Amino acid sequence: MESIFEKLWRLGPAALVLKAIVAAIVANGLLLGFILLRRTYRKWYFAKRDARVFALRQDWDRLISGEIPYETWRQKSFDRRIVESIALDALEAAGAAESARLLKFLRESGLIEKRIFEARTLTGWRRMRALVALGQTRALEGISAMAEGLRDHDPEIRLAALRGLGRTASPQAAEEILAWVGERGLSVPAMPLQNALIQCCAERPQLLIPCVQHAEGPLREVLGRVLGEVATASLSLDLLQFVGDDLDELRAAAARAMSHAERGLAFDVLSELVGDPIWFVRLRAIISLGELSEPRAIPDLMRGLTDSNRLVRLRAAEALVKLKTEMAPIFQQVIATQDRYGLQAYLTALENASLRGKLEEELLACTAGNNAEKTRLWKILRTGVLLAEETVLAEFDPAKSAFLS
């Protein structure tokens, strides 16, 4: 007997369309069925989970103290998952004492051991889940299992291991990650690696230095960025080697880190970096100089104020405004640059910090200098226009003076 498909073929050119119709209708049915079943299942699952979470929450203290034998819930995977997720969520927000209590519970109930086992032996999404959960426990005994995950051939597993290690926020995890990137290079996207390293290196940023020295290419950039974020004063001498580095990111990192360094050293280094050919290195240097908040930085900040890059100018102006020193002499220096972009940046920063009134008072109270000079400064402050420009503007209009062409 002829099959339905043979009949369809015999229909000639129309058969293609007919088959396509059948396929499209079947596809529609499948899609609809999937949506329907998925919704129904989720509704049932969440209702069941919600009821169980409520029940377990009622006995939470007895449960984690071991008063309720662990065996009563450990045997049931549904209950075990709920207990674990409640404990891990609590751990995220817990203080030192509560963390210790929860960690003790996780250890004694065997949940950590179970996760270590799963992270080592399972495959696919189950292993990923185990790796992340293990990281959430912040238990140091789980680090080696997560480090094994870093060396997996599956990039998703590697990412999960990285997430897990990042969540431990411990130097031991940082050592594992750095050893791994040293061996394999950048084999995961930069963002998760940066996040994990920032978390883990915060306590001991010096771990990064040898790795940055030996790394190459994009990995070096990533490590440089992390170093810039986590560097502390104790690293200032180590960071000096990167001031003249070929890699822009590293010079920027050094500039950023210098805000934590010993002041004398920082000024010399940052003065050099303010003249860097790359704008974001100069930007970092100016921000760091601003954070030092020292009048000694004024000449370099003035240089930043006349920079070719708008962001550098704005940040330099903000730093100048925030200096805890007399404002009138600084304003005088700003005018002396004869840079109208710089002047506008300074006035913007002044307005944003609501310090315009303070400068006006200082100018009024200023006894040094002659009256003509005071009038000139006052006029420039009011109009925002350098005197040389005045002839260009036919009439005074404070709003117009903001628009530079």
Partner 1 sequence: MIRLLEISNHTLFWYYLASNLAYLTMLIVALKTSAAHQRSLKSHRLSWLKESPLAPPITIIAPAHNEEKSIRVAVRNLLELDYPQLEVIVVNDGSEDHTLDEMREEFRLRPVRAVYIPQAESAPVRGLYRSEVNASLLVVDKESGGSKADAVNAGLNAATSPYVCIVDADSVLERDALLRIMFPIMADPKRVVAVGGIIRVLNGSEIEGGHLRRVRLPRKSLEVIQVIEYLRAFLIGREAWGQGNMLTIISGAFGVFRTDLVRSIGGYRSRAIGEDFDLVARLHRHLLGKGVDYHIHFVPDPMCWTEVPSDLKSLGRQRARWQKGLLDVLWPNRDMLFRPRYGRIGCFAFPYLWLFELFAPVVEIAGIVTIVLAACLGVLSREFFLQFLIFGYAFATVISIGSVLQEEITYKRYNDWQDVIRLVSYCFLEHFPYRQLHMIWRLRGLWEYLRGDVEWKPLKRKGLESAQVP
Does position 344 interact with partner 1 (CB under 8 A)? The reply is yes
Contacting residue, 187, 195, 333, 337, with partner 1 by CB under 8 A:
195
Task: Check residue 139 for interaction with partner 1 (CB under 8 A).
Answer: no
State yes or no: residue 405 binds partner 1 (CB under 8 A).
yes
String marking each residue 67-106 x if it binds partner 1 according to CB under 8 A = ----------------------------------------
Q: Which one of residues 229, 294, 360, 390 is an interface residue with partner 1 (CB under 8 A)?
A: 229
- Is residue 44 part of the contact set for partner 1 (CB under 8 A)? no
Is position 190 an interface residue for partner 1 (rule: CB under 8 A)? yes
Under rule CB under 8 A, residue 402 binds partner 1: yes
At how many degrees (to 10) do helices 124-137 and 77-93 cross?
40
What's the CA dihedral at 306, 307, 310, 313 to 10 degrees? -60
Tell me which residue of 233, 224, 291 sits closest to 252, measured CA to CA: 224
Q: Compute the least distance from the CB of residue 368 to partner 1, in Å.
A: 26
> Are the C-beta atoms of 252 and 284 separated by less than 8 Å?
yes
- Which of these, 311, 307, 308, 301, lies nearest to 331 by C-alpha position? 301
Residue 226 burial (CB count, 10 A): 27
Compute the least distance from the CB of residue 52 to partner 1, in Å.
22
Q: How far apart are CA 24 and CA 93, in angstroms?
A: 51
Q: Is 387 in the site for partner 1 (CB under 8 A)?
A: no
Cβ 167 vs Cβ 133: under 8 Å:
no
Site for partner 1 in 196-225 (CB under 8 A): 198-199, 225
Q: Which of 7, 9, 38, 100 binds partner 1 (CB under 8 A)?
A: 38
Identify the residue whose tokens are 């001991």: 204
Crossing angle of helices 155-168 and 124-137, in 10° steps, is: 10
Q: Which backbone phi and psi does 13 adopt, to 5 degrees?
A: -55, -30
Distances (CA, A) of 198 to 228, 231, 232, 299: 10, 10, 13, 33
- For position 314 contacting partner 1 by CB under 8 A, the verdict is yes
Of the pair 18, 51, the CB lying nearest partner 1 is at 18
Among 180, 176, 186, 231, which Cα is nearest to 209's? Answer: 231
Closest approach, Cβ 192 to partner 1, in A, equals: 4
Spatial contact of 402 and 384, defined as CB atoms under 8 Å apart: yes
Q: How far is the CB of 264 from partner 1 (least distance, A)?
A: 25
Binding segment toward partner 1, per CB under 8 A, in 24-32, 60-68, 74-82, 139-147: 24-32
**Sites of contact with partner 1 (CB under 8 A):** 13-14, 17-18, 20-21, 24-25, 27-28, 31-32, 34-35, 38-39, 132, 156, 159, 162-163, 189-192, 194-195, 198-199, 225, 229, 310-311, 313-314, 341, 344-345, 347-348, 351-352, 354, 384, 398-399, 401-405
